Amino acid sequence: MEELIGSRGEDSLSNIGFQRTLVSMGHQSCGALELWNYPMFLRDLIAHNEDGTERADHVDLASLEVYRDRERRVCRYNQFRRNILMIPISKWEDLTDDTETIGILREVYGDDVEKLDLLVGLMAEKKIKGFAISETAFFIFIVMASRRLQADRFFTSNFNSKTYTKKGLDWVNTTENLKQVIDRHFPDINDKWINSTSAFSVWDAPPNSSNIVPLYLRIPRR
């Protein structure tokens, strides 16, 4: 991943090739969305200037995300839940059952749950059984998933053969799953690399696995 960051990233990706990259991604589970699971290479990024040269200062994206939220006055966790008509927490035990997490939160924020940063709360929040994102994040996901479809002209007013071409529109209307999309562009990948029934599952998972979940909701292997 370090070789794909900054000015050298595009050249590195070209050398690896899209097919090899796709196969690698298919066999790698997503990282769990929880506390203390932030990729370490993203916590020590080397910033680049516009001309591609490296800067002396390094960037901790984990800290920067919280800093930017505060800078832009994004609501803290409890207020965000109130704004979307969810019940706020009144104590740390409402957020998580993990005693270590509760101890760290109390060390950082004291007993004032109103100070809890939104991103920290989303990562610490108890997960609904079978889901990899928190209940608060899921509220937003449900709203935005339908909005993206309704607001996209390529799914509404421009959903026609003039925009897509007849062949393209046939692809959209007849394609049933991601494996068919992959097979269209890289016909040997399905036979050589995908063992799972769904391309959204980890590719070396057993066929007909009962835990097939879309990539953005997958419960990762730790």
Q: What is the residue extent of each domain of the chain?
A: 75-160
pLDDT at residue 138, as a whole number: 92
Q: Taking 50 as the threshold, does the pLDDT of residue 113 lie above it? A: yes
Give the distance from CA 201 to its chain's centroid.
15
> Three-state SS for 31?
coil
- pLDDT tens, position by position, 23-34: 998 998 878 899
The answer to whether 134 and 125 are in contact (CB under 8 A) is yes
pLDDT at residue 3, as a whole number: 81
pLDDT at residue 159, as a whole number: 93
pLDDT at residue 210, as a whole number: 46
Q: Taking 90 as the threshold, does the pLDDT of residue 119 lie above it? A: yes
CA distance linking residue 21 with residue 5, whole number of Å: 15
pLDDT at residue 209, as a whole number: 56
The model's pTM: 0.78
- pLDDT tens, position by position, 12-70: 999 999 899 999 989 988 788 999 998 888 898 888 887 778 888 889 999 999 999 99
CA distance linking residue 13 with residue 147, whole number of Å: 33
